[in-house]
């Protein structure tokens, strides 16, 4: 994993000092080397900060092809690259390095932008094609690796992080529309950021840029089959066997590195399955690292330790207290470049720091499993409410009550409470309201109550959910699909790239130069899972059924029988007088908060005063808003953000 920058100028030549300085600000993503290249006329520049994982001695970038007509910078990892390289060499291609990234150049020579269909892994890239005077930029299928862009002053900028765009000269301003949208989805839209004029290449997309044209094109999507499709029923054992084979291949490919590989281990099914299967492929113990919280209902370290012992892995707990979360909140937000909705991002920041201090650069993680196998409790609620075939109403109500009772951590955040308002704009388009959107709608009501009069008036009548759905291919990707698959698709366009893979993944890992590898988002595995019946994802009230059965031989009985427990840090509102709670109170009563252009300070002060007397579910619903407001203060200070142009 690395960081890169690509600049195109229509007018003035690019300054070498600007290019070098913007590349250096990405040093945390690539501490092993920072290099850049400028075209002879100064109109095209590529910068790269390298984290050496494969070919430690000759893989510095930008990389070039044989005649130097192509140059590329890559952030990410390509798996199975040795096979692709052999095939390319048989066709006459000559390689200069042993880097996995070099295959992009030669695949592009063969296929042009369609080379993306031959790439397997997590990546973002920028390739300059001199013959065609074309810049080709692309992002992996799921958005595991970030890729931002902006236009300013006749220049077009691409970078792995927004802070590199700011360092290159892009103004740092709030995007008020994205701030409004965030308070409804707890994420920006998949192609937007909180910064005015700074956009994202969406997951599964690429852009072709010439002097006169910018084309943004999709090359991959989930393509869930229609509910009345022609899936051939199979025995449950057959699904589990096929899934196990695909997952083992994904893990085996991700264990390849020229540096040691560790694993992030929780008490959840996903990372435990990865550890158990990965350890069977190794002759020496893997090293597992586990976060531990100081509140028992959020702490999974004992379950993880039992699993590590079962697998024969080394186990290292990383204890994190509320005080630690408070002390490192601002640094984590600077790296995350977005609002946090829970301090779990800060915990991942601290976990990555501890792993890097232990001498590791690469870890396997369990992220992505819940997003393709319907692991969260809100997916089970959707199945109960919207796929009622053969179910008695009384039984459904009883199971719904059990679901709420057994998922207290999710109540008010991922699971709607009893006071959730109806949302006709969603139900009119989809025919139902996915549970996570219902829950977010409830949080949005509380968020609106904190807006300043000017900000509320500016977006009066704006329907954030209609805008979200309007940016998706509803007819091609949602219509006619099972409700659970529709919910999975919507979560993949909202919470997956901008929260799970960013604030809990890449940004917190790369803050300390850690490469996270995600076997569950190996695209051949995902393409297998998308064709599985819903009953292979949720069987009764058992989530991720096919994974549970496929990995059963390597799991402890505790993990095999345990329900999903969302990875969340204890909310700031949970422990009054803790340092995190005091940080929220002090910051939101302070001078920086009063400079934010979207909140009304008196309304927030009233909320802070009411917190101690609130019931737990309501306090849980308030915590994402308080974390977002606290994050906004950090972003305002760290990036010197200005209000947008009038």
Catalytic residues: 2
Nearest to 29 by CA among 517, 510, 515: 510
Whose structure tokens read 């084309």?
215
For residue 384, what are the contacts with CB-CB under 8 A and spacing of at least 6? Answer: 391, 396, 399, 400, 403
Nearest to 318 by CA among 286, 288, 295, 360: 288
> Distance (Å, rounded) from C-alpha 202 to C-alpha 140?
9
| Cβ–Cβ under 8 Å, residues 139 and 203 | yes
Report the 3 state secondary structure along 117-174.
HHCCEEEEEEEEECCCCEEEEEECCCCCCCCEEEEECCEEEEECCHHHHHHHCCCCEE
Helix H or strand E encompassing 264: strand 261-264
Helix H or strand E encompassing 635: helix 616-639
Report the 3 state secondary structure along 281-349.
CCCCCCEEEEEEECCHHHCCHHHHHHHHHHHCCEEEEEEECHHHHHHCHHHHHHHHCCCCCCCHHHHHH
> Distance (Å, rounded) from C-alpha 494 to C-alpha 437?
10
DSSP 643: P
Q: What percent of the residues of the chain are helix, what percent strand, and what percent coil, each to the nearest 5?
A: 45, 15, 35
Phi, psi dihedrals of residue 596, rounded to the nearest 5°: -70, 140
Structural tokens at position 438: 């219902």
For residue 317, what are the contacts with CB-CB under 8 A and spacing of at least 6? Answer: 290, 291, 292, 301, 304, 305
- Cis amide prior to 388 (ω within 30 degrees): no
Residue 461, burial from CB neighbour count under 10 angstroms (0-12, 13-18, 19+): exposed
> Distance (Å, rounded) from C-alpha 505 to C-alpha 251?
18
Residue 296, burial from CB neighbour count under 10 angstroms (0-12, 13-18, 19+): exposed
| Cβ–Cβ under 8 Å, residues 127 and 105 | yes
Nearest to 311 by CA among 290, 341, 327: 290
Alpha helices (H) in 216-268, listed in sequence order: 236-254
> Distance (Å, rounded) from C-alpha 294 to C-alpha 320?
7
> Distance (Å, rounded) from C-alpha 199 to C-alpha 275?
36
Q: Is 64 strand, coil or helix?
A: strand
> Distance (Å, rounded) from C-alpha 567 to C-alpha 551?
21
Other C-beta atoms closer than 10 Å to the C-beta of 62 total 22
> Distance (Å, rounded) from C-alpha 272 to C-alpha 263?
10
Q: Could you tell me the maximum CA-CA distance found in the chain, to the nearest angstrom?
A: 74
């Amino acid at each position: 994993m690395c960081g890169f920058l690509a600049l195109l100028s229509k007018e003035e030549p690019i300054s070498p000092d600007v290019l070098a300085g913007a590349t250096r600000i990405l040093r945390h993503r690539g501490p092993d080397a920072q290099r850049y290249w400028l075209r002879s006329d100064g109109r095209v520049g590529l910068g790269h900060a390298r984290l050496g994982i494969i070919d430690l001695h000759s893989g510095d970038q930008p990389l070039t092809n044989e005649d130097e007509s192509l140059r590329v910078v890559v952030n990410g990892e390509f798996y199975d690259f040795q096979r692709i390289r052999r095939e390319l060499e048989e066709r006459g291609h000559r390689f200069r390095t042993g880097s996995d990234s070099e295959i992009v150049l030669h695949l592009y020579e063969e296929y042009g932008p369609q080379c993306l269909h031959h790439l397997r892994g997590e990546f973002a890239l920028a390739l300059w094609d001199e013959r065609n005077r074309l810049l080709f930029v692309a992002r992996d299928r799921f958005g595991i690796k970030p890729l931002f862009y902006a236009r300013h002053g006749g220049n077009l900028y691409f970078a792995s992080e927004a802070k590199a765009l700011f360092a290159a000269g892009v103004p740092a301003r709030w995007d008020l529309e994205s701030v409004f949208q965030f308070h409804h989805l707890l994420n920006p839209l998949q192609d937007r950021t909180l910064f005015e004029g700074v956009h994202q290449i969406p997951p599964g997309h690429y852009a072709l840029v010439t002097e006169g044209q910018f084309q943004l094109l999709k090359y991959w999507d989930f393509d869930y089959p229609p509910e009345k499709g022609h899936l051939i029923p199979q025995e449950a054992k057959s699904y589990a066997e096929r899934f196990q084979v695909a997952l083992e291949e994904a893990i085996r490919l991700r264990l390849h590195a020229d540096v040691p590989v560790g694993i992030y281990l929780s008490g959840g099914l996903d990372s435990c399955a990865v550890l158990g299967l990965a350890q069977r492929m190794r002759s020496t113990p893997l090293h597992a690292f586990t976060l531990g919280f100081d509140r028992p209902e959020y702490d999974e370290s004992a379950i993880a330790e039992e699993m590590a012992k079962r697998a024969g892995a080394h186990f290292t707990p990383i204890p994190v207290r509320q005080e630690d979360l408070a002390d490192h909140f601002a640094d984590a937000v600077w790296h995350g470049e977005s609002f946090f909705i829970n301090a779990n991002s800060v915990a991942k920041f601290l976990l990555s720091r501890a792993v890097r201090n232990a001498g590791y650069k690469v870890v396997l993680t369990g992220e992505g499993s819940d997003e393709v196998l319907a692991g969260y409790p809100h997916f089970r609620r959707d199945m109960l409410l919207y796929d009622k075939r053969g179910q008695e109403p009384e039984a459904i109500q009883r199971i719904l009550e059990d679901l709420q009772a057994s998922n207290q951590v999710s109540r008010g955040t991922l699971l709607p409470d009893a006071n959730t308002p109806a949302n006709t704009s969603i139900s009119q388009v989809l025919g139902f309201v996915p549970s996570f959107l219902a829950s977010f709608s409830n949080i949005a009501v509380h968020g609106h109550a904190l807006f300043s009069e000017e900000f509320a008036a500016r977006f009066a009548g704006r329907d954030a959910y209609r805008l979200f759905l309007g940016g998706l291919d509803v007819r091609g990707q949602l219509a006619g699909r099972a409700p659970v698959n529709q919910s999975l698709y919507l979560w993949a366009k909202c919470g997956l790239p901008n929260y799970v893979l960013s604030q809990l993944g890449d940004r917190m890992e790369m803050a300390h130069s850690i490469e996270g590898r995600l076997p569950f988002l190996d695209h051949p595995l995902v393409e297998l899972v998308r064709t599985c019946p819903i009953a292979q994802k949720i069987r009764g009230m058992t989530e991720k059924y096919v994974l549970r059965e496929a990995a059963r031989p390597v799991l402890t009985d505790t993990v095999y029988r345990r329900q999903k427990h969302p990875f969340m840090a204890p909310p700031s509102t949970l422990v009054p007088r803790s340092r995190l709670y005091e940080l929220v109170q002090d910051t939101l009563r302070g001078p920086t908060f009063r400079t934010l252009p979207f909140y009304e300070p008196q309304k927030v002060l009233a909320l802070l005063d009411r917190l101690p007397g609130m019931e737990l579910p309501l306090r849980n619903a308030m915590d994402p808003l308080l974390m977002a407001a606290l994050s906004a203060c950090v972003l305002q200070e760290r990036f010197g953000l200005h209000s947008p142009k009038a």
